Structure 1
Amino acid sequence: MDRKNTRRDWTMKELQFLEDNHEFMSNKELAAELNRSVGSVANQKVKMGLTKRNIYEVVKGYEVLATGTAEECAEQTGLSLNTIYFYTSPTHRRRSVDLDKAILVHRVDDT
């Protein structure tokens, strides 16, 4: 049984819609609007350089120590980039018994 190639090229209209709306709509919403798969939308966004950078907030107790990309937070706090990423993990949260003294990192945007 032969499989048909269902791949179709992106039209200029679709590419413009993607560029105009990628910041306001999720990949799932964009896919539904464009009649494309979520994977196709995600891949096209990467090809077009439309990926959003995650924003993080570093907190200790109730004090915000830094806000920005992981790289910016690392620079502002003097922590390594690997430490910033580790501090976002469930493992680190489980180990942080005294939340008034623990440094936690939260992602504040949704990609």
Structure 2
Amino acid sequence: MLLMPDVIKKTPITISEVKELVYSRWSENLSSLIIDQRKLFEYLSKYDKVSSAKEAREAVKRLVEDYGIKEEDAIMLVDIAPEKKDEIMAYLYRGYPLLGEKEYEGIAKLLESIRKKINS
């Protein structure tokens, strides 16, 4: 009999982290995956915009610590990886009206540093 703990801790994770977890579990048996599992692989590959899960988690940590952004909002930014400062402002302005120009520039540089290099 499997006993479930009374409290289950849920931790939000980035798309890059999901991709790494799924790939590590399913990569050995790719040919035996069902259609939904294959579609999940396609989705994760298509929408993962960060170079690695480790870089994604580090970026989330820096956004939380350096800019006071909630973890869920930091994960959203890392997953979307907006390229322009104005796009970042659109996502954060209502929740973080006190962030200034300097902070938005810092966030933009951080996101640029972790974004996949498509043309490399």
- When normalised by structure 2's length, the TM-score is 0.28
* More strand, by proportion: 1
* More helix, by proportion: 2
Answer 1 or 2: higher relative contact order, Cα 8 Å, separation at least 6: 2
